[in-house]
Amino acid sequence: MSTPYADFVFGIYPGSEAGSDKGIVSGARDNPVQISRCLDDLQGGSQPFIVRAYERFSDRENPSQWASQQPLQYEQYLENGRLLDLVLMFQSARGDVAAYLEFATELVKRQAPRLYSVQVTEEANSRNGPNVIDGPYPNVLNALVEGVKKVKHTLRQLGHAQVRVGFNATPTFGPASAFWTDIGNRGGADFLDCLDYIGLDFFPDVFRSLAPDGNPGDLEASARLVLQVMRNEWLPAAGVGHHIPIHITEHGWPTSSSRSEERQAEVIEKIVRLLWAERQRLNIARYTLFDLRDSNSATSDRDDDLFRHFGITREDYSPKSAYRKFRSLVAEYGCLARV
């Protein structure tokens, strides 16, 4: 599908809650006034600028212990021309795909005028992951395939065919890469016709340390390798051609007593500049930062606390170095007008 926008779009998840290996981590309640101020400042003149939000589907008789919506009342942040990147999570313990499709249809109808993109399921490939993501839930791949088709057909019927519909995954090496072949086998021609992008949740140098900059296997080399393998191996295995763009749906780097705020800014800059340099060769169309604010800025080196420190602002919304760096990258590379 041809794009009505310029070729590289920025976005951010403006909340603070995050999913960890042990569940959702949260802190002080989000401050909508501060969030809106930060979004206006980070966006500058960039149009569109994308707000990422999550809606969680679970069984009515067995609801999820996690909040159904993050950030709460996210529509309030869609000012100044900002559009919505809506994630429709599938967390049905009984694998109820039919009810999920009804849930997806209702939300898409409600939000259609505000949408930039819809992501169907969240990290469905992470079958052994924690239950805060969708991979462990039964029938999740059917929910993904049928959800993409249902959402796109609904948007076409509503006259909003320009809204991008896709799904995301984490990097998949070894046996996990069979996910892509499975999607291809389940999908078929209608699924591919409804698919507008593939998302990647991308956290190099967070959960596995990389070589120092300038050495083989450093941040840039490792990130480039993942992107190349995704484009040249994983996506073709699913039948996805080069014309379908990659969207970076989550990227970030947490701070702590041993992970400096200055390095966070460096990592974000290196990844954004790499994506910009590779955007045409690998067809990369979007970068979404995770996330705006720490849920708890107290320093700690415990593994479970990393998830509390992804923010480019501290718990009180005071900016880290990465905040200013991200703002300057949006100003340098962000879309200035629709084309």
Which residue, 146, 57, 65, is CA-closest to 94? 57
| pLDDT at 305 exceeding the cut of 80 | no
Q: How confident is the model at residue 304 (pLDDT cuts 50, 70, 90)?
A: low
Write down the pLDDT at residue 338: 40
| pLDDT at 336 exceeding the cut of 80 | no
Burial class for 40, CB neighbours closer than 10 Å (0-12, 13-18, 19+): middle
Distances (CA, A) of 139 to 92, 96, 103, 144, 277: 9, 8, 16, 9, 38
Task: Please state the pTM of the whole predicted model.
Answer: 0.95
Which residue, 328, 301, 295, is CA-closest to 313? 295
| pLDDT at 317 exceeding the cut of 80 | yes
Q: What number is the average pLDDT over the span 207-211?
A: 94
3 state SS of 279: coil
Write down the pLDDT at residue 257: 86
C-alpha span between 314 and 189 (Å, rounded): 46
Q: Which two tokens stand for residue 36?
A: 């809106």
Domains of the chain, by residue range, sit at 9-333
**How high is the mean pLDDT of the chain?**
94
C-alpha span between 168 and 230 (Å, rounded): 12
Contacts of 87 (CB under 8 A, 6+ apart): 52, 53, 54, 55, 119, 122
Query: What is the residue-wise DSSP string for 51-90?
Result: EEEEEEE-BTTB--SS-SEESTTGGGG--TT-EEEEEEEE
Write down the pLDDT at residue 315: 95
Query: How many C-beta atoms surround the C-beta of residue 243 within 10 A?
Result: 8
Given a contact cutoff of 8 angstroms between Cβ atoms, the answer to whether 30 and 72 are in contact is yes
Return the CATH number of 9-333, one of 3.30.70.20, 3.40.225.10, 3.20.20.80, 2.40.50.140: 3.20.20.80
Which residue, 253, 287, 280, is CA-closest to 48? 287
C-alpha span between 205 and 264 (Å, rounded): 11
pLDDT in tens, 102-140: 999 999 999 999 999 999 999 999 999 899 999 999 999
Given a contact cutoff of 8 angstroms between Cβ atoms, the answer to whether 293 and 287 are in contact is no
| pLDDT at 275 exceeding the cut of 90 | yes
pLDDT in tens, 53-94: 999 999 999 999 988 999 999 999 999 999 999 999 999 999
Better pLDDT: 2 or 295: 295
